[in-house]
Chain A
């Protein structure tokens, strides 16, 4: 197997008041692989993406661990070195497509500026490439769509435009942070198809952050199940889904709607289980605190 594009070792993220958000997470993604990060809200799955992108929320900081991108330690880079990777080698597909496009600028200008400033293209070349990208993300009639404002487009179209922008620099790693959460279920499918087509064409690795195990089962080769900032289970998706080892994974699977089972068989994740997991995590924190 080839060297991983991104390798995260024992990543710990902590808030200013000492609470831990990530309690030692290790994930590695090889080139061209789609890796799912699953967990409920607050599991810390988005924090992993934000740590890679260098946009941790106010007060949160990396306490311990390494993030290696392409053999270089991301956490030891200075701002300029890190910025040089963003938008070229690492790109983000954000959660909310409405908020992530500038509301007062036409799509053309947003795409062209990005390509001119980040990829050093000429204006003409950038425009041609922008239309080509829109065509690749199956936007009908890209020549006229490119001159519209974000509010004139549907959520699915906006998300496909953001996918096009993310892939503009043929990045090696894409972080997809719940890319379909803000979308209609009917649109989700198209957007995911576009994402996977683009990913295959460019051979990019994808860190796919979601709470939807059904989507993970379809898209991801490997999956990491997170809870309370800890990895509970990790491995090839087929194995994790067909024979989950951890009780939390089993509970998560039982809480995921499936077509081949009646809806009534859905079970919420038992509170006793999550509570005991949180307690366990806090006990571990105590040991970490005692060590440091």
Chain B
């Protein structure tokens, strides 16, 4: 009995085998990473992927359905909106805004939040007290509301959106990096390097930071997803990049009014947003597993 199970298990082994890099990274990282790369790629290559301008209006062809429905046209693969603009081009160009804002705001909130959190967690004492109280105060505000108020105050434009997201979201990094740095600062290798005479700054950068880095990378990925949502919320509320430049959020807002006679105006941008955020979260979750020392 035992022998039979054993040999059948062995016989099945070769089929289970996957390339080493896939095993090492895991399905989540591969899936999430592939979708993120695809979205980034199509954002960069937008002019090559579509023949239409995202802002060119063609009122004769307004509210044209996707090509597989009757009345659709293959030159407008995902249909047109109420002003006759090509949905696909608007999605592709909108991805540029979403991705740029996600990347920029995640980068800045990561840099600021990690630096503050690392210092507070490692040094402790008064520095930690000040930073912790600041984070507590910050977290007490509803984040999206704060971002809307901020971008309304700062005015439209990409810079003000990035600033609004960074100002709201740096605490996410600061809070988590702080507690991890605090744990690492208690480790024996930190005490050992202190006894070897390394200064506090050197220990923080050389010893603690490399141990916190996996966490920061994971958070960074998740933050990009969050920033994408916040950007869409802001443009939905009309507080995003000025003018008629397409963003997913403003497309969703426009689609909401046309839901009865042009569902594609709402569904496609929503699907893009969901897919992007989902892939960022998958990637972040997968990276967390890859970096987990127990799994390594």
Contacts and interface: CB of A to CB of B under 8 A. Distances in A.
B198 A117 contact: yes
Contacts of B191: 55, 100
A87 interface: yes
Contact of B198 (A94, A104, A114): A114
Interface string B187-226: 1110111111111001000110011011000000000000
B293 interface: yes
A120 B256 CA distance: 66
Interface string A117-147: 1100000000000000000000000000000
Contacts of A48: none
A290 interface: no
A92 B293 contact: no
Contacts of A102: 189, 193, 207, 210-211
Contacts of A88: 197
A104 B192 contact: no
Given A94-B188, A96-B188, A117-B202, A103 B211 contact: yes
Interface string B278-296: 0000000000000001000
B12 to A, nearest CB: 31
B195 A87 contact: yes
B196 A87 contact: yes
A87 B198 contact: yes
A165 interface: yes
**Max chain A C-beta neighbours (<10 A), residue from B187, B196, B210, B293:** B196
Interface residues of B, number: 20
A55 B194 CA distance: 9
Interface in A90-108: 91-92, 94, 96, 99-105
Interface string A53-77: 1010000000000000000000000
A100 B194 CA distance: 11
Interface in B6-20: none
Contacts of A101: 189, 192
Contact of B199 (A83, A99, A105): A83
A102 B293 CA distance: 13
B210 A118 contact: no
Contacts of B189: 99-103
A88 B195 CA distance: 10
A148 interface: no
A105 B192 contact: no
Contacts of B194: 55, 86
A87 B207 contact: no
B210 A105 contact: yes
A86 B197 contact: yes
Interface string A220-234: 000000000000000
A92 B192 CA distance: 8
A285 interface: no
B211 A118 contact: no
Interface of A: 53, 55, 83-88, 91-92, 94, 96, 99-105, 113-114, 117-118, 162, 165
16 contacts: A53-B195, A85-B197, A86-B194, A86-B195, A87-B195, A87-B196, A94-B188, A100-B191, A101-B192, A102-B193, A102-B207, A104-B210, A104-B211, A114-B193, A117-B198, A165-B196
Given A55-B191, A99-B187, A104-B210, 14 more contacts: A55-B195, A83-B197, A86-B196, A91-B195, A92-B196, A100-B192, A102-B207, A103-B189, A104-B211, A105-B206, A113-B206, A114-B196, A118-B196, A118-B198
Interface of B: 187-189, 191-199, 202, 206-207, 210-211, 213-214, 293
